[in-house]
Amino acid sequence: QSVLTQPPSVSGAPGQRVTISCTGSSSNIGAGYNVHWYQQLPGTAPKLLIYRNNNRPSGVPDRFSGSKSGTSASLAITGLQAEDEAVYFCQSYDNTLSGSDVLFGGGTKLTVL
């Protein structure tokens, strides 16, 4: 059971907008840690999609955007395309006695209808 909670699946038709939530708590996202998002296409390694809540690495289309508020974060995808069908993971950190631990969300499977 991940400490960062994501919906198992979302879907949308081509051209639509979808959002994927990532819900944490006061010891992780709510403690001020940034949230990063990764896209994992079928049969491939994860790829960094959004870093530090709302920043896109070079080459990532501006159809992808991120936001963070309180103990949650969201990934929005506009103008949905067939090639966006993938699993999306959020990642942050959690306060521990020894500092901070990496946390991944459970992943959300996006289906393009």
Give the nearer residue to other proteins in terms of CB position, either 60 or 76. Answer: 60
Give the nearer residue to other proteins in terms of CB position, either 13 or 58. Answer: 58
Question: Per DSSP, which regions of the chain are E strands?
Answer: 9-12, 18-23, 36-40, 47-50, 64-69, 72-77, 86-96, 99-104, 108-112
Give the nearer residue to other proteins in terms of CB position, either 64 or 104. Answer: 104
Distance of CA 7 to the CA centre of its chain: 11
Instruction: Phi first, then psi: give them for residue 44, nearest 5 degrees.
Output: -125, 170
3-class SS of residue 84: helix
Beta carbon of residue 99, minimum distance to other proteins (angstroms, whole number): 7
Beta carbon of residue 8, minimum distance to other proteins (angstroms, whole number): 10
Q: How far apart are CA 103 and CA 76, in angstroms?
A: 20
Judged by the rule CB under 8 A, the positions of this chain that interact with other proteins are 2, 33-34, 36, 38, 45-48, 51-52, 57, 89, 91, 93, 96, 98-99, 101-107
Report the relative pairing of strands 64-69 and 108-112 from DSSP bridges: unpaired
Give the nearer residue to other proteins in terms of CB position, either 13 or 59. Answer: 59
Beta carbon of residue 3, minimum distance to other proteins (angstroms, whole number): 11
Beta carbon of residue 107, minimum distance to other proteins (angstroms, whole number): 4
